[in-house]
């Protein structure tokens, strides 16, 4: 098959999944064409059967804002014709499903479209009154729609009053790449923590929905009881507030701010616990990646997280904003090596049994085949 994929090329779960899917499809002999305004960050090195088409965006004084979506739709149609694409698979409803539908109209319907919903495209952006109807129009007009969790599927149908089939295909992980700590990881760990110190890790895009200040509040309580370091990975608009909170609570000297990191498989295994304090998560790829590395998790009990984490087995699920309970559970993991090991093993087993790449990618292939066979 010849497949066009469009995703946000910057850091975030939807872009990671789309890129990993494209590479996995190419490894299986399919031809994949990424169509985006920048190279997806996880694409990194050269891959056979993978091509990138940059979307040019014109800059003209009459436009107050550059017409990126129009340019993208035009590029989708252009690449579809030139490369004889069988289908366009877009990740994130707004604006990509809209662009795909426009490209399909330009081609008189001679290409199939698949939209994968990832979360905030439905719960935040698409739900905005100014975008609700066009988002509904684009989703309903897709030839196939998938969602990364049962929660997101149900939320989409209810939010947009839709009566269409939405197939749940969860996010996936390559457990052979993301695996428990090796000797090389232990050597790197010494750079961040002294012998006897524990590591709490948080990875996100540092937006308000992640409630990153809660991470610092939990860490400050944990540090009062146990020598611990905090590793913050990622970047975003709330990072400066997190730094201020760490300063205010007197834990900045125990906090490492590592920014964006591509080789997450080198850092995640260093963690003794992954802490996620989000207000809403439709799936949480980083939680799954931590589980694959046998790292116990403490997260909030929201959205699709209960579909990823087996509560009390691979991690703990707490209520949003419950700093006391989250602190207690982080300490419980850090102080009990037997519990930590048991949870880590359970998390990795769950990742392998339910979310392994080799199990999930074929689901997309079957979907494509159904579409193309009519």
Taking only the tens place, the pLDDT of each residue in 122-150 is 887 777 888 889 899 999 999 999 999 99
Confidence band, pLDDT 50/70/90 cuts, at residue 62: low
Looking at residues 92-96, what average pLDDT do you find? 89
Q: 18-53 as b/e, with b when 16 or more CB fall inside 10 Å? A: bbbbbbbbbeeebbbbbbbbeebbbbeeeeebbeeb
Element containing residue 102 per DSSP (H, E)? helix 98-106
3-state secondary structure of 171: coil
Taking only the tens place, the pLDDT of each residue in 267-287 is 999 999 999 999 999 999 999
CATH of 2-172+356-372, picked from 3.40.50.2000, 1.10.10.10, 3.30.1330.40, 3.30.70.980, is 3.40.50.2000
For residue 314, how many C-alpha atoms fall within 13 Å in the half-sphere facing its CB? 23
- Segments of the chain assigned to CATH 3.40.50.2000: 2-172+356-372, 183-354
Q: φ and ψ at 282, to 5 degrees?
A: -80, -20
Q: Answer for the pair 269, 110: CB distance below 8 angstroms, yes or no.
A: no
DSSP string, 304-372: THHHHS-BTTTEEEE-TT-HHHHHHHHHHHHH-HHHHHHHHHHHHHHHHHHSBHHHHHHHHHHHHHHHH
Q: What is the pTM of this model?
A: 0.93
Looking at residues 22-40, what average pLDDT do you find? 94
Per-residue DSSP letter, 41 = T
Give the architecture (CATH level 2) of 183-354. 3-Layer(aba) Sandwich (3.40)
Residue 65 has pLDDT above 60, yes or no: no
């Amino acid at each position: 098959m010849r497949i066009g994929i469009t995703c946000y090329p910057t850091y975030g779960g939807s872009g990671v999944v789309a890129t990993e899917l494209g590479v996995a499809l190419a490894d299986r002999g399919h031809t994949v064409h990424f169509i985006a305004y920048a190279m997806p960050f996880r694409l990194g090195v050269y891959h056979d059967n993978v091509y990138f088409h940059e979307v040019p965006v014109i800059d003209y004084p009459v436009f107050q804002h550059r017409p990126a979506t129009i340019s993208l739709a035009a590029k989708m149609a252009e690449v579809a014709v030139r490369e004889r694409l069988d289908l366009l698979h877009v990740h994130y409803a707004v604006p990509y499903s809209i662009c795909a539908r426009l490209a399909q109209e330009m081609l008189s319907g001679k290409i199939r479209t698949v939209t994968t919903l990832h979360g905030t495209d439905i719960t935040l952006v698409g739900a905005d009154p100014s975008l609700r109807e066009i988002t509904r129009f684009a989703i309903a007009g897709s030839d196939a729609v998938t969602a990364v969790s049962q929660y997101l599927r149900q939320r989409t149908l209810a939010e947009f009053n839709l009566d269409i089939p939405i197939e749940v295909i969860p996010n996936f992980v390559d457990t052979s790449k993301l695996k428990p700590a090796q000797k090389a990881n232990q050597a790197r760990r010494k750079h961040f923590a002294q012998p006897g110190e524990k590591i709490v890790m948080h990875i996100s895009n540092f937006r308000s929905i992640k409630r990153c200040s809660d991470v610092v509040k939990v860490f400050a309580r944990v540090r009062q009881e146990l020598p611990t370091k905090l590793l913050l990975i990622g970047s975003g608009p709330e990072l400066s507030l997190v730094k201020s909170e760490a300063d205010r609570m007197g834990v900045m000297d125990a906090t490492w701010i590592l920014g964006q990191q591509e080789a997450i498989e080198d850092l995640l295994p260093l963690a003794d616990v992954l802490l996620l304090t989000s207000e809403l998560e439709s799936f949480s790829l980083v939680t799954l990646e931590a589980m694959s590395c046998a790292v116990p998790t403490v997260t909030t009990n929201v959205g699709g997280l209960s579909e990823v984490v087996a509560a009390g087995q691979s991690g703990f699920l707490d209520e949003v904003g419950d700093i006391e309970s989250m602190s207690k559970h982080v300490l419980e993991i850090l102080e009990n090596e037997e519990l930590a090991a048991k949870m880590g093993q359970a998390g990795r087993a769950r990742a392998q049994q339910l979310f392994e790449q080799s199990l999930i990618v074929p689901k997309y292939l079957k979907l494509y085949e159904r579409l193309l066979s009519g």
